[in-house]
Structure 1
Amino acid sequence: MTFEEYTASLGRLTAAIDPTASTEDAVEIQRAVASLEALDQIDESTLFAWVSEHPSDSFVLALAVGLSREKLKNQLRDWFGTASWAKAAREHPSSFVQRLDEDFDLLRLLRVQRNQQYSFGDLLVARAGTRATATNAGASGRKVEDMLEAIATDLLLPYVPRTRMAGRHGKTAPADLAIPAAGPDCVIAVAAKGFDSTGSKLTDAVREIEELADARTGHQVALAVVDGIGWKGRMSDLRRIYDLYDTGAIDGLYTLGTLDRFRADLDSFASLRRIRRRPTSS
């Protein structure tokens, strides 16, 4: 398999989404906003009362000032020693509102945005910066892991997901699938790296596969399933992974389109290494 053949087999992992379709997150936000819009006016007293009555919806106040839920959690840890907005809003409703107002201009921004008329351009700008209608960032990676686990299960192979293997000179490396066990008992270590978007996670994925190649002993098998169109924006990183395969530092490189070959190779390696299969259920 040449590098060109390999890159040609890369495919999209996540389905295209309809940005106008609703999601559980969007419904939750819309419900919370409806109760905010029902307030006669926005001031400290009305927001104190709203937060006390709707602690689980209080995260929308952070969205109004441009904070994601994750960033809100970080602020709450600093302010109240908890990452739960429901708990913070329930136990400290006045301080919750006051902190957001003092640090992020909450009251003014809420008043402005409640009465603002938005254009189609405003909608697209907001959509570019929000994930209310997007799929989970880890969905594509977990899709690859889930498919590999299904193959191992079907082959009756014992495995440990999302762990670490141990190899030569005590070196360890991440293993998204360790067969039949983790640590020094790992015989076949599989890396599953699927990304439809680019970013630092792709570089981290390359490093983890390199660590796997460096740690494995001559008896251990290292396989990598790497897919997703995000890699097409990081061709130098993808080339580093391919070179590990091309030089024999890892034993196999696959995409979801070549999982039939992965299955056959995994079955073969397991037989050659005399990995004990799980008994079939009666």
Structure 2
Amino acid sequence: MSDPRPDDTAMQAYLGRLRRLTTHVAVDEASEQADAIVAAGASLSALEEVSVDALTRWVRARPADVPALGLTVGLSQEKLKNLLRVAFGTSSWVKAVGDDARGVVVWLDEELGLLAALEAQRHRTYTFGDVLAARGTSRQVANRAGVAGKLIEDAVEQIVRDLGLPYEMRGRFVGRNGDTGPADLAVPGFEDALIAVACKGFDSTGSKLTAAVTEVMDMAGVSFAHQYVLAVVDGIGWLSRQGDFRRMHALLEQHRIDGLYALADLDAFRADLHAAAVRHGLLEGHLPDAGPVDVPGEALVARPEEFEAQLRLDL
């Protein structure tokens, strides 16, 4: 078997640094599989005790009903798949339970408080108001994709402000032949952009990730050679859209964009942004000393290695 290509190795290392951007919400979410969820709920209500041993026996007997445990702690099936992929190397709860049923239960409890949530919820009497509140909260959960993207924007904007750079948020920067490309942040502004930054964060998956890749490709397609294009991209949704992510990562390998950073790489992003700004005369001197950049989101695995800046400019 041949060794992986260097770009594959780099891409997989990047995917290993992705963070969960949105928190779980303990709500009873609606589902198309209503009958199965109702049956699973009835079975959980009938358990004599709520314990790791009891739930391990339950998931072994009903592996297809693991999403009901996810719903207990506010996870949609999509988010459950993504988190299982990180924790167990598979997005299939049936396979995860087949390989390590007790491990799945312990993970749900330690990470999301399954036992306490199930004990508190399974015998509660729900009013019509509770039903309406659950539906309303589900809509809020669906809107969290925007929250994830804003979290990355806020982190990037804080770095730009700390460096003292002029900037504008959310617009289209002017590139070659007067064509424009989308950017979440432009330095010093969109009309005279020297540095354009994309901020893309998703914990869920879907066509919006493809659209995000298209935006970054559009940025690369219209930018002048002197314009730096940087992208800060994170969120566990990319684990289920690796084909899309590969297209974006290829832009970095082909030197069509100048930097691609997970949130764990914000220190490198700060260094590269400063270097680009110095090259354009927007800043002077060496990168000022500062404490570690505050990294939002939740790390899912230990990452002891440090990542170097990508631009490698000689200043």
**TM-score w.r.t. structure 1 length?**
0.58
Q: 1:249 aligns with which of 246, 251, 256?
A: 256
Deviation at 1:166, TM superposition (A): 1.0
Superposition pairs for residues 65-144 of structure 1, below 5 Å?
Answer: 130-131=138-139, 136-144=144-152
Extract unaligned runs of 5+ from structure 1: 21-116, 278-282
What is the identity percentage for the equivalent residue pairs of Structure 1 and Structure 2? 48
1:169 match:
177
1:261 aligned residue (248, 252, 268) = 268
Structure 2 Cα separation of the partners of residues 133 and 209 of structure 1: 26
Structure 1 runs (4+) deviating above 4 angstroms are: 126-129, 132-135
Distance 1:133 1:141, change over 3 A: closer
User: Partners of 2:209 and 2:200 in 1: how far apart?
Assistant: 8
Instruction: Judge conservation of contact 1:179–1:187 (CA < 8 Å) in 2.
Output: yes
Equivalent-residue separation in structure 2 for 1:161 and 1:133 (angstroms): 25
In 1, are the aligned partners of 2:152 and 2:201 still within 8 Å (CA)?
yes
| Counterpart mapping for 1:50-69 below 5 A | none
State the alpha-carbon separation in 2 of the partners of residues 118 and 170 from structure 1: 59
CA contact (8 A) 1:17 1:134 kept: no
Following the alignment from structure 1 to structure 2, what is the Cα–Cα distance between the partners of residues 202 and 19?
26
Stretches of structure 2 that go unaligned for 5 or more consecutive residues are: 1-8, 29-124, 285-315
Provide the secondary structure at the position in 1 that maps to 2:19. Answer: coil
Please point out which of 152, 167, 175 is paired with 2:160: 152
Q: What is the TM-score when the length of structure 2 is the normalising length?
A: 0.52
Superposed counterparts of 1:32-43, under 5 Å: none
Equivalence for 1:181: 189
SS of match in other structure, 2:230 = strand
1:11 paired residue number: 19
The RMSD of aligned alpha carbons is 2.5
CA contact (8 A) 1:14 1:139 kept: yes
Q: Closer, same or farther in 2 for the Cα pair 1:135/1:204, shift >3 Å?
A: closer
Shift of 1:18: 2.6
1:212 maps to a residue whose letter is M
Aligned residues between the structures: 176
**1:128 to partner: Cα distance:** 11
Equivalent residues of 1:19, 1:134 under 8 A apart: no
* 2:231 corresponds to: 224
- 1:205 corresponding residue in structure 2: 212
Is contact 2:188–2:195 with CA below 8 Å preserved after alignment?
A: yes
Paired residues of 2:196 and 2:230 also in contact (CA < 8 A): yes
- Displacement of 1:170 in angstroms is 1.5
CA-to-partner distance for each residue in 1:60-119, whole Å, 9 max, x for gaps?
xxxxxxxxxxxxxxxxxxxxxxxxxxxxxxxxxxxxxxxxxxxxxxxxxxxxxxxxx979
Structure 2 letter corresponding to 1:154 = D
- Cα contact 1:174–1:208 (8 A) shared by 2: yes
Q: Which amino acid aligns with 2:148?
A: S
Shift of 1:270: 0.4
Letter matched to residue 234 of structure 2: D
Which residue is equivalent to 2:247? 240
